[in-house]
């Protein structure tokens, strides 16, 4: 199905994150270069493109689609690269239409990591900041943006009205499914998120890539940092286990660093390089499979 859909409605790959700043304003403590009100202040055409993005996302992200994508991409047989080459690969996603920064993808990741580091968090959390958007390389493998970025949500059960633009789910085949349209769907109460199928994108992809290397707290950050219907709206408490509820402390801790760490002045990579080379070598192998 996905190969026949080539729509890429966002002029900027990160535009959906910009919309999050408008929908979920946070304190100004991390957003040092601007106030939260100034961040990502798009005119109406850009917001219209975000809306179109979510129309496509909510229409085509089905349970069957996610199963298909996991079979296709979790084999990690597309490309193998040294880790630092992987950042160069990711930087092909730079887009000049971003109104707030002309920094490349690596600089955003580095700024996120540096903000986490500056607040004295553990080094594995700094590394999580550095890698949290690496899954966007899916776009470089031909995936449409609606299958790479965007708020994530469970499939196999009813869509919550707390998800952004819930009206677009009416065009999703799962919306009318006899079982998938019920509150619990195929799941048991408080079954735990490890048993729940979430929509496909860079979060799930990078989680599977990193799951053998990082601690569980980091993996929750990677896998659920776009699950706003839960960590901001608590729309799926009925599926979370007690352990999930406890671990979402880390998801909530991480997200402001992702959303509010962008600054027009890039970090000095020449000074930071030795620290990050040592950090990456501490946790990860020399090459990564994509």
Q: How far apart are CA 252 and CA 107, in angstroms?
A: 22
What pLDDT does 11 receive?
65
Average pLDDT along the chain: 87
What is the signed CA dihedral for 8, 289, 224, 175, rounded to 10 degrees? 50
pLDDT at 31 over 70: no
Long-range CB contact pairs, 115-120, < 8 A, 24+: 115/30, 115/257, 115/260, 115/261, 116/254, 116/257
Measured in degrees and rounded to the nearest 5, phi and psi for residue 197 equal -85, 115
Least confident of 59-63, 77-81, 203-207, 261-265: 261-265
Spell out the domain ranges in the chain: 2-289
* Pairwise pLDDT comparison (38 vs 260), residue with the higher score: 260
Gap between the terminal Cα atoms of the chain:
22
């Amino acid at each position: 199905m996905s190969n026949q859909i080539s729509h890429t409605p966002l002029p900027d790959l990160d535009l959906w994150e910009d919309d999050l700043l408008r929908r979920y304003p946070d304190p100004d403590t991390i957003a040092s270069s601007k106030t939260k009100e100034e961040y990502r202040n798009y005119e109406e055409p850009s917001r219209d493109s975000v809306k179109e993005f979510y129309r496509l996302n909510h229409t085509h992200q089905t349970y069957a689609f996610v199963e298909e994508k996991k079979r296709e991409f979790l084999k990690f047989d597309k490309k193998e690269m040294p880790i630092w080459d992987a950042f160069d690969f990711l930087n092909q996603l730079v887009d000049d239409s971003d109104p707030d920064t002309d920094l490349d993808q690596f600089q955003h990741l580095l700024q996120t990591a540096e903000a986490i580091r500056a607040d004295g968090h553990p080094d594995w959390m700094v590394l999580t900041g550095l890698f949290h958007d690496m899954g966007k390389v899916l776009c470089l493998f031909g995936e449409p943006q609606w299958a790479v970025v965007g708020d994530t949500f469970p499939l196999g059960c009813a869509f919550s009205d707390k998800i952004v633009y819930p009206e677009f789910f009416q065009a999703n085949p799962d919306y009318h499914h006899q079982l998938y349209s019920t509150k619990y769907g195929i799941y048991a109460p408080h079954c735990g998120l490890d048993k729940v199928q979430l929509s496909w994108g860079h979060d799930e992809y990078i989680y599977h890539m990193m799951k053998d290397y990082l601690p569980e707290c980091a993996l929750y950050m990677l896998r659920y940092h776009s699950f706003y219907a839960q960590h901001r709206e608590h729309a799926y408490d009925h599926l979370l286990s007690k352990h999930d509820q406890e671990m979402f402390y880390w998801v909530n801790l991480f997200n402001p660093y992702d959303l509010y760490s962008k600054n027009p002045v890039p970090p000095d990579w020449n000074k930071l390089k030795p620290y990050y080379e040592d950090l990456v070598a501490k946790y990860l192998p020399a090459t990564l499979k994509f």
